[in-house]
Chain A
Amino acid sequence: MGIEVQHIYKSFNNYNALQDVSLKVNDGELIALLGPSGSGKTTLLRIIAGLEVPDLCEESKILFHGKDVAKQRVAERQVGFVFQHYALFKHMSVFENIAFGLKVRPRATRPSKAEIQHRVNELLRLIQLDGFGNRLPSQLSGGQRQRVALARALAIAPKVLLLDEPFGALDAKVRQGLRAWLRRLHEELHMTTILVTHDQEEALEVADKIVVMNQAKIEQVGAPEEVFHRPANEFVMDFLGHVNVFHGRVENGRARLTDIGSKLTWNREAFGNAVYVRPHELEIDRVAGDDGIRGTVRRINLAGTCAKVVVASSSGNEVVAEISFERFHELGLQRGETVFVSAKRARVFTPDYEI
């Protein structure tokens, strides 16, 4: 089921959580709302679920499959909601937790005991917790609890799955495993899913589409590779991974980096006063080319999939470059050596007000 929200505003006291937010989610898509804390992503999710009411505004709309559900309550919207801290019913067993949504149905639509039993067992198998039905939530690990919470949400056969930082409270290792599992599950169920996260890696890995949010607004919507390689602005660039910022001016297609008295090629007409380069887009050389910044190797980190080299310019600014191990060994870099850093690729963003 496709979801569309239009012109949503929400403020708490004097704090703006959402300001004129519009978003479209296609049927069967898994999208991630990504942003720092306080960017409004959880509020947007809760408004879609019906757990929060948007500010009154004539243009505001919440459409499920083209139908306005703004007046419907949570239960009527048939959403499966998974909370960050699981929110499992502590005094109920895993089985009772999952069965809850079926048991509270009015008698007319309530499945029989045997049907409930069957459905819960099916879900226990889906979350790979067969035989855990009699345990209490307190007897499970964090990852297991979150899987139970997911099964409980799926039990009511929701039309949409809404996940509020579902792996936020788990260790890195467990999170990794659950991410891959969630992706596989999505491929199996093809249910429209919205995932809220502040972890860019999680969003890039799991989602079909990423919605980057900041300060109550959507900054960019796009496929993972799109937001990563073609960020719409400085914020998106900075939020999706490490980035080196060179301050200076762009003149005749060349960036004059005032702070280090050096230059960096930029072969396009552009405005602005900062140049953004990702670590893997930097190159290190022992000899000075046409361009490049002169600096000293300050730190080398080889623990990872590539060599991370921190180079300090004469003014003390640090630049992080990621080069392949082959290149690293070819150069035979040592701490304290003088090198030249140049960019294969760089970005300049045009501030909105100059358009």
Chain B
Amino acid sequence: MSVENKHGIQDPLWVQWTLITITIGFVAIFLALPVAIIFAEALKDGLKTYAIALKDPAAWSAIHLTLLVTAISVPVNTVFGLAASWAIAKFEFKGKSLLLTLIDIPFAVSPVISGFIYVLLFGLQGWFGQTLSDWGFKVIFAVPGIVLVTIFVTFPFVARELIPLMQEQGNDEEQAAISLGAKGWQTFFYVTLPNIRWGLLYGVILCNARAMGEFGAVSVVSGSIRGKTATLPLHVEVLYNGFNVPAAFAMASLLALVGLLTLALKTYLEWKVKQQRRELALVNE
């Protein structure tokens, strides 16, 4: 009886195995293999390659710039993401769905195109370029431009993660806090933030990974000036084009390592968020 039931709702065994084999094969060839090759190539001559690659002052400058850009864009988008998800989840206003769609623009538009938009706006021939240049500001082919496009590209990560979470939680607890005499900031730090902390951290980590790894948009606005406006991904490209393959792989492996760590953290946080939702469901029962 139970066997028949199982057959009734499940696909035949050969379909299951074919799908599983295709998926695993695809992931192995297109996703896992390249990552493995990066580390294999980088470590071919042992850690020596790293030592040589890191002797180059341009490498340090790239690392430095990447950290700087990340350190600016991630907090900016965290604050924005919190504000946007708060507004969308807790208030009713006109144009809410339009705002939701607008937040997704960076996901929909190719990063290269976003880079060009900023060149069009702030480049010397652009709308504001001449004025800014007269005031002594240089945006394109300089650090401000890189920061701007990175913020643009990583814009949706925190907000996208928090909006559904906050909508699910509603604002009962905030109302309770206010009725008990809590000020706005107390309500935020004691009630709202603890309820969204895992989701927020998850969004920040995704945002961080993308901010460090962004290539397309940054390459358009940075000009890849070695030691000046080259971020880590751009530095890898410069090394590779200069036939310095071992160093390129060493630097790429650093980026890949950051990516893998992010994945591990992400998996852990996903589990945490799920656990928290389960608790929420229990409380709301």
Contacts and interface: CB of A to CB of B under 8 A. Distances in A.
Contact of B175 (A51, A104, A138): A51
Interface stretch (B10-18, B189-197, B237-245): B189-197
Contacts of A80: 179
Nearest to A46: B175
A101 B283 CA distance: 21
A49 B179 contact: yes
B177 interface: yes
Contact of B181 (A51, A86, A104): A104
Contacts, number: 71
Interface string B174-186: 0111111111001
Nearest to A77: B179
A271 interface: no
A100 B175 contact: no
A85 B279 CA distance: 15
B280 interface: yes
A87 B175 contact: yes
Interface residues of A, number: 28
Contact of A100 (B190, B194, B283): B190
Interface centre among B176, B177, B186, B282, by most A CB within 10 Å?
B176
B172 interface: yes
Contacts of B176: 81, 83, 87-89, 149, 152
Contacts of A89: 173, 176-177, 190-191, 194
B2 interface: no
Chain B interface category by residue count = 20 to 34
Given A83-B172, A100-B190, A74 B195 contact: no
B23 interface: no
B158 to A, nearest CB: 20
Interface in A111-153: 137-138, 142, 145, 149, 152-153
A86 B172 CA distance: 8
B284 interface: yes
B180 A90 contact: no
Contact of A156 (B173, B180, B279): B180
Interface in A66-109: 74-75, 79-81, 83, 85-91, 100-101, 104-105
A307 B186 CA distance: 58
B283 A156 contact: no
B182 A104 contact: yes
Contacts of B285: 142
B179 A90 contact: no
B179 A79 contact: yes
Max chain B Cβ within 10 angstroms of own Cβ: one of A87, A149, A152? A87
Nearest to B173: A87
A155 B183 CA distance: 17
A105 B181 contact: yes
A83 B280 CA distance: 16
B194 A87 contact: no
A107 to B, nearest CB: 13
Interface string B151-193: 0000000000000000000001101111111110010001100
Given A90-B283, A104-B186, A85 B172 contact: yes
B179 A75 contact: yes
B172 to A, nearest CB: 4
B175 A83 contact: yes
Interface string A261-288: 0000000000000000000000000000
Contacts of A87: 172-173, 175-176
A216 B190 CA distance: 36
Contacts of A51: 175, 178-179
A104 B176 CA distance: 13
A90 B280 contact: yes
Contacts of A145: 283
Please list the 10 inter-chain residue pairs (A to B) with the smallest Cβ-Cβ separation, ordered nearest first: A101-B180, A87-B172, A87-B176, A104-B182, A81-B179, A75-B181, A91-B194, A104-B186, A74-B179, A138-B282
15 contacts: A49-B179, A51-B179, A74-B179, A75-B178, A75-B181, A83-B175, A83-B176, A86-B283, A89-B177, A91-B194, A101-B180, A104-B177, A105-B181, A153-B180, A155-B180
Given A104-B181, A149-B176, 12 more contacts: A51-B175, A80-B179, A81-B176, A88-B173, A90-B279, A91-B194, A101-B180, A104-B183, A138-B282, A142-B285, A152-B176, A153-B179
